[in-house]
C-alpha cells in the first residue's frame, strides 16, 4: 500500500514538474529561431504585418498573454486587447508606454522569464507607438 501511494505521489510530482517546465519554456527560448524572421521596417510599421505577428509568436500563447489566461490582466491576441489596458500604449509616446517599459527592461517582467526580442523588433515596436500606435 505504501509503495502504491509513493508511486502515485512520485508520478504526480513528475507530471507537475514537467508541466511547469513546459509552461515556462513556452514563454521563452534561446532567442534564436522562430521569431527572428519577424523584421520591422525603419518607418511605417504596421500593426497587422509586424506587431501582431511578433505578439502571436512570443507573447500571446501557452498560458501567457492569450485570451484565456490574460497574464497580468493583459491579452496580446488583438489590437483591442492591447489598448484596452490603460497606459499600456500611449500613442506617439513610446517612452511613457508600459508596453515599452516592460519589453525594454525598465520594468521587470512579473515572472522570471526573459522577454525574447531582438534590437530590430524592440525598435520596431517603439517606432509603431511613436507613429501613433495605429491599427493598420
Q: Please give the model's pTM, rounded to 2 decimal places.
A: 0.72
Place of cell 500571446: 60
Contact 68, 76 (CB under 8 A): no
Average pLDDT for 32-56: 89
Extents of the domains making up the chain: 2-130
In angstroms, the CA 119 to CA 23 distance is: 25
Q: Using one digit for the tens of pLDDT, what is the confidence trace for 4-31?
A: 655 555 554 544 443 334 444 444 444 4
Amino acid at each position: 500500500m505504501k509503495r502504491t501511494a509513493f508511486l502515485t505521489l512520485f508520478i504526480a510530482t513528475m507530471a507537475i514538474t514537467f508541466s511547469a517546465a513546459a509552461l515556462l519554456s513556452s514563454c521563452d527560448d534561446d532567442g534564436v529561431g522562430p521569431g527572428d524572421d519577424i523584421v520591422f521596417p525603419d518607418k511605417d510599421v504596421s500593426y497587422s504585418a509586424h506587431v501582431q505577428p511578433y505578439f502571436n509568436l512570443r507573447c500571446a500563447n501557452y498560458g501567457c498573454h492569450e485570451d484565456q489566461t490574460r497574464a497580468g490582466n493583459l491579452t496580446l491576441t488583438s489590437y483591442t486587447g492591447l489598448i484596452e489596458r490603460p497606459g499600456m500604449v500611449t500613442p506617439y509616446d513610446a517612452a511613457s508606454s508600459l508596453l515599452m517599459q516592460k519589453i525594454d527592461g525598465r520594468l521587470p517582467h512579473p515572472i522570471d522569464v526573459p522577454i525574447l526580442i531582438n534590437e530590430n523588433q524592440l525598435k520596431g515596436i517603439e517606432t509603431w507607438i511613436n507613429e501613433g500606435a495605429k491599427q493598420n
